[in-house]
Amino acid sequence: MVYRAIGVMSGSSLDGLDIVFAQFEESRGAWSYEIKASDTYEYNTDWQRRLQQATNLSAYDYLKLHADYGKFTGEQINSFIQTHELYHQVQIIASHGHTVFHAPGNGFTAQLGDGAHIAAVTGINVVSDLRTMDVALGGQGAPIVPAGEKLLFAQHSVLLNIGGIANITYQNAETQVAFDICPANKVLNALAEKEGKPYDEDGEMASAGVVHDGLLWHLNEMDYYALPFPKSLDNSFGLQTVLPVIESYGQLTTADASATYVEHIVMQTVKAIQQLENQFSIGSKELLITGGGAFHSFLIQRLRDALEPMNYTITIPPSEVVKYKEALIMALLGLLRWREENTVLQSVTGASRSSIGGAVWIGQDA
């Protein structure tokens, strides 16, 4: 069976809306894919501000933003379809939305971007709200990409995604686990913005800094890092919890703070891999890295250095997969939801069972 779908992802780093159009083929349970088109639609200053301030809105204004962002997402998808001449080729759209609240311990998670508005604007069937069912079943609701990794990247045992939040997946034929490691690009980008830069290109600023041992210790001692998996982080953790700790060391230059935070990401990644090795017999010690952090040359080199004694090698796939893997997997999750197959895995999130997550909105005129 051949499917053609669009996947839409807005990451916690607020760099923009990632859109992928991919062709998938399923044969006897085995899936393959080909990315046909991909783009990132950067947020302008107004949208960045509105998304950043979403947690402070009244219920009325939050719902208005939910509707507005759904309409905006639909408009960007229409522009994408027009640019790549995809008329009448897209069977379904799967939109992750932009996470604002994530509190599985309190039984809820919330992503902006009303699926009904996306369906109304595009005239295409839409799957949205991919996490809520898992949270209702007692799960973390995150990470959700492992269900797609298991089908599209089964040849890799350990996968690291370095986005706004860094998360890791371990999988073999029998089981799969995944969890959030620590905030990553969200904090690194916030530090770069202090120097008037949207991000630290190639890690040039961090590579010029000196690690501050006191700050590094302070970061590593945060309560989250002592928790066992399954576990997940709220988007606000990076800017509302981690960044104030860094800023409390006011004497540090931005370069030193960046160097220290890179080392924190490296140390927590090594710790995460050690946790996995303590529980599983990991055969292939190849680490597949995707997400914007894969372009941070200094961070990747530090990871290589730290993992070499553990005999790990690092593989970075083609840049289109690095940038758009999560949007690609959203497209697949939309197809799985349409087929009424599991989209979130119990072994990953700790829910009472695996589940078929996602709300379906019929955009096509009957």
Q: What is the pLDDT of residues 212-246, one digit of tens each?
A: 999 999 999 999 999 999 999 988 899 999 999 99
* Residues 263-269, mean pLDDT to the nearest whole number: 98
The answer to whether 2-137+350-361 and 147-321 have equal CATH topology is: yes
**For position 11, what pLDDT does the model report?**
77
Chain-centre distance for alpha carbon 149: 12
Which backbone phi and psi does 251 adopt, to 5 degrees?
-80, -10
Look up the CATH superfamily of 147-321.
ATPase, nucleotide binding domain (3.30.420.40)
Q: How large a percentage of the chain has pLDDT more than 90? A: 94
Domains of the chain, residue spans: 2-137+350-361, 147-321
The string of DSSP codes covering 16-49 is -EEEEEEEEEEETTEEEEEEEEEEEE---HHHHH
CB 296 within 8 A of CB 205: no
- Using CA atoms, how far apart are residues 327 and 307, in angstroms rounded to an integer? 28
pLDDT in tens, 55-81: 999 999 999 999 999 999 999 999 999
pLDDT category, 35, cuts 50, 70, 90?
A: very high
- Using CA atoms, how far apart are residues 322 and 338, in angstroms rounded to an integer? 26
Which residue matches tokens 């699926």?
Answer: 115
**Other beta carbons less than 10 A from residue 202's beta carbon:** 14
Q: For domain 2-137+350-361, give its CATH number from 3.40.50.620, 3.40.50.300, 3.30.420.40, 3.90.870.10.
A: 3.30.420.40
Query: Does the bond joining 230 to the residue before it have cis omega, within 30 degrees of 0?
Result: yes
pLDDT in tens, 2-16: 999 999 999 777 889
Residue 184 pLDDT more than 90? Answer: yes
What is the model's pTM?
Answer: 0.93
